Structure 1
């Protein structure tokens, strides 16, 4: 394998022309000066320091050069966005060497088939489509279930499209804590391996089907008893047969495209929600109230764990993601509400649901 100095020389040759063009532009980025983005040496140093920070190792010089070019393109996008956006900002994270297509293919996992797009209208023993969520009573001005002890630490789905399982588990962990007082981290892997009638493991799934599975199968094991391995495996419930499980009685769907219904439900417990996370800014979101470009074609399962206001009309919903604690605001994102769009920011109000549990 070539030495680090040889790698650097090759990188210098590749970016010499691009650096000349970049020098004419006025770059700036959160955490770095404009000089860092117009200097050939500093661009390389920035890439090398990013590699070290995120423990990135490439198998060949060619791969390193390729990833550097992708890194640089992402860096320029981050910079351009931060010049325009006023309420949120982007930053370099562990995904900075991935093209956006690579990122979407690896980290988005709500990929419903045409059958899955029709949410279950009736499941024996379960209640769905509860329009009463909008009836009666006011709601608090702000709610944060993290402060109430109903949200476990941010988890990381890795390169497995299992976001639906993480969304489901976050909601079940929440209602279990509210009812029992115990915050217990539960097993996403059990859902990936065992809930296969309608859901598809690392190839996507739907939270309602997962709630139905948990209610009908007798409960979900603890994460420590059935740990996550970031890939599909054989259902091994028997190995944890004697371990404690967390049960639910069913689930409810929040009326679609209704912000007040969602907030009322969210005032009572964390929710599973689906969003369109395919926009490039999601890949590098670093902080603030997100109000950037996104569609409403749902492709990612997350959990709503609160709502509040940042002033100046920046009302938001607090969303727990499953891309690890280094992404966003320690693994969370605040998504703007009161947008005037019935479906909400990135389709946030289109498909929300939550588990029920007897007290």
Structure 2
């Protein structure tokens, strides 16, 4: 009980300091006591991955990646390279279905990498088929790390390669259990039909040198998200609402904690001093009772906490 009280008190002190820094800088970011405030650093970091990003072997996105999949050339006409100042995939639908699914909850399992890949592929699949289907995060957590416990962490590379090779089933068939993937070798992929077929999904990484430009292009031209992997500092842990500007992550830390999400949009905001900040809209996997209904916003074009260093996106080959 004493430890719990001290942890909560420390969170209050940090929250107060972060809010004062945000207000002094003229930012709209608000920090608060949320469901993680009473967790020790060890308990919170246990929900994060400690596997570093690794895009080795993933082809880099180029101009031909999406066009290679298009057999009907009238389907995608040449577009202007001038993109709108604002875009949010959450507002878009196909055949009455939203193309971005609900915010899920990874719980105490560090399978954020799997949830991010699933969120990416759910939208890619919806755009390709005209129907949204919630896909199985548990399958990736159980099977995507080739035997090691998925709840111990992973990265985007593991997830997209798995779906490319084996496909993916639905949430309804292979349901999520936050404790199941804390033990390895529990994969049940053979028991369920494939909703995303094997070899249907293809993927590419986005160069860190032109990440902002390429992510905006993918969002606008192909209406699919971009999965990202980033470090976590106290700003994200105590985040309540607004746009995070401050980068409080330490890339040199030996015990750096990583998290994953999907960029579903972007916009620009002006602070109370009239300064404009560009930002990303990111879907998280900490349920909709955290942040802005499960989402958060961070400054874009500044590689906040390494968020623009290893993005991944994808397409469906078999549906074109």
Same fold (TM over 0.5): yes
For the pair 1:273 / 2:235, whether they are aligned, the reply is no
Pick closer, same or farther for the CA change 1:81–1:196 going to 2, 3 Å.
Answer: closer
- The correspondence for 2:102, drawn from 153, 159, 166, is 153
Q: Could you tell me how far apart the structure 2 residues matched to 1:282 and 1:100 are? A: 13
- The correspondence for 2:134, drawn from 185, 197, 201, is 185
For the pair 1:257 / 2:209, whether they are aligned, the reply is yes
**Residue in structure 2 matched with residue 289 of structure 1 by the alignment:** 243
Which structure: larger Rg?
Answer: 1
- Report Cα offsets for 1:171-218 as digits up to 9, x if no partner: 00011111122121111110111223387511111212211211211x
Q: Which residues of structure 2 form unaligned runs of 5+?
A: 66-78, 93-97, 252-256
Matches within 5 A, 1:130-279: 130-132=61-63, 137-148=81-92, 149-197=98-146, 200-217=149-166, 219-231=167-179, 232=181, 234-241=186-193, 245-247=195-197, 248-258=200-210, 259-267=212-220, 268=222, 269-277=224-232, 279=233
**Residue in structure 2 matched with residue 65 of structure 1 by the alignment:** 2
- Count of aligned positions: 278
Q: Could you tell me how far apart the structure 2 residues matched to 1:151 and 1:110 are? A: 27
1:295 offset after TM fit, Å? 2.9
Pick closer, same or farther for the CA change 1:136–1:256 going to 2, 3 Å.
Answer: farther
Q: Which residues of structure 1 form unaligned runs of 5+?
A: 1-63, 123-127
- Report Cα offsets for 1:59-80 as digits up to 9, x if no partner: xxxxx23211211111121112
For the pair 1:79 / 2:42, whether they are aligned, the reply is no
Q: Could you tell me how far apart the structure 2 residues matched to 1:274 and 1:335 are? A: 13
Q: Could you tell me how far apart the structure 2 residues matched to 1:185 and 1:328 are? A: 22
**Residue in structure 1 matched with residue 258 of structure 2 by the alignment:** 299
**Residue in structure 1 matched with residue 35 of structure 2 by the alignment:** 94
Which SS does the other structure have where 1:335 is aligned? strand
Which has the larger displacement, 135-144 or 156-165? 135-144
Q: Is the 8 A contact 1:189 1:227 kept in 2?
A: yes
Q: Is the 8 A contact 1:87 1:291 kept in 2?
A: no
Q: Could you tell me how far apart the structure 1 residues matched to 2:54 and 2:298 are? A: 26
**Residue in structure 2 matched with residue 121 of structure 1 by the alignment:** 57
Which SS does the other structure have where 1:130 is aligned? coil
Any runs of at least 4 consecutive aligned residues in structure 1 with deviations exceeding 6 A, and if so which? 133-136
Normalising by structure 2, what TM-score? 0.80
Pick closer, same or farther for the CA change 1:118–1:165 going to 2, 3 Å.
Answer: closer
Pick closer, same or farther for the CA change 1:334–1:199 going to 2, 3 Å.
Answer: farther
**Residue in structure 2 matched with residue 53 of structure 1 by the alignment:** none
Which SS does the other structure have where 1:215 is aligned? helix
